């Protein structure tokens, strides 16, 4: 895996051909499959559940990164761990007991992370840094693909990068910083320069006929970033 990771969001894939869409995007050079779970309650949209995760699992050995936009969280997190997820992230305001939910995900053998919406405070990270494998910053309000990147996210990325670097310099370990929403070829370098290392892109990749061309173009942009 390269130092920057590209994670196509299945939300923009052809749902009638999901297995093939997973294989094609990995063959095109993606690192991770991003799997958006929406419940029509926490967010105003309804997508896919653990059965679909289980169905795509045999189609790739790449990590499946499940982003839970649901409340309540715990039972579904456990189901996704059983269904073959590698990484499970959730929104702190959707869980009554953040520390317990993170522990439950890790005890099930998955990497765990928190997701912060554009207006959600970084204070949610304060007491759980030791349990985080990933922090996912939403650069759109969650619920739909194809929205425009919110530029104020860049300051948040810088602030979280600082927190991660300070924390890992002192305590060791690794915490990925993922950004999700409106990520394109023309802004990925700026987001990386601000401190992100993992990039979710739905419509930018699945909205084009040639997935490899888009992923190659993203990697070419990332190669220009001096940070790593
Ligand atoms: O979680 C979400 C939206 O809630 C995202 O993963 C979107 O699916 C990203 O789509 P694009 O903005 O890249 O089209």
Pairing of strands 87-90, 111-116: parallel
Q: Which atom of ligand 1 is nearest to the CA of 146?
A: 14
Ligand 1, atom 8: closest residue by C-alpha: 145
Q: Which helix (H) or strand (E) covers residue 66, if one does?
A: strand 64-69
pLDDT attached to residue 226: 72
Which atom of ligand 1 is found nearest the CA of 38?
Answer: 4
The question of ipTM being above 0.95 is answered as: yes
Give pLDDT, residue 1: 37
Domains observed in the chain = 5-118+128-223 (3.20.20.70)
Q: Give every strand in the sheet of 64-69, ordered side by side.
A: 5-8, 198-201, 176-180, 134-138, 111-116, 87-90, 64-69, 33-38
Integer Cα distance of 61 and 128 in angstroms: 29
Residues near ligand 1 (Cβ within 6 A): 9, 11-12, 34, 36, 67, 140, 142-147, 180-183, 200-204
The partner residues of 200 in beta bridges, in order of sequence, read 7, 180
| Residues in binding site | 9, 34, 36, 67, 143-146, 180-182, 202-203
Residues with a known catalytic role? 36, 180
Looking at residue 227, its pLDDT comes to 60
Q: What is the dihedral of CA 89, 94, 98, 100, to 10 degrees?
A: -90
Q: Which residues of the chain have pLDDT under 50?
A: 1-2
């Amino acid at each position: 895996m390269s130092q920057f990771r590209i994670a196509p969001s299945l939300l923009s894939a052809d749902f009638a051909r999901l297995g093939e869409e997973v294989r094609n995007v990995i063959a095109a050079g993606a690192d991770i499959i991003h799997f958006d779970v929406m419940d029509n309650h926490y967010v105003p949209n309804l997508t896919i559940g653990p059965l679909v995760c289980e169905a795509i699992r045999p189609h790739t050995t790449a990590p499946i990164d499940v982003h839970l936009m649901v409340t309540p969280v715990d039972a579904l997190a456990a189901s996704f761990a059983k269904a073959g997820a590698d990484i499970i992230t959730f929104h702190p305001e959707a869980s009554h007991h953040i520390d317990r939910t993170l522990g439950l995900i890790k005890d099930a053998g998955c990497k765990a992370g928190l997701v912060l919406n554009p207006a959600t405070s970084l204070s949610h990270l304060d007491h759980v840094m030791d349990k985080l494998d990933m922090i996912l910053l939403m650069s759109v309000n969650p619920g739909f693909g194809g929205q425009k990147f919110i530029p104020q996210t860049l300051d948040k990325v810088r602030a979280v990068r600082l927190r991660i670097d300070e924390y890992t310099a002192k305590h060791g370990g690794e915490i990925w910083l993922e950004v999700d929403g409106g990520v394109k070829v023309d802004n990925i370098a700026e987001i990386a320069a601000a401190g992100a290392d993992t990039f979710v892109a739905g419509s930018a990749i699945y909205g084009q006929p040639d997935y490899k061309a888009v992923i190659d173009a993203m990697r070419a942009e990332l190669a220009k970033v001096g940070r790593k």
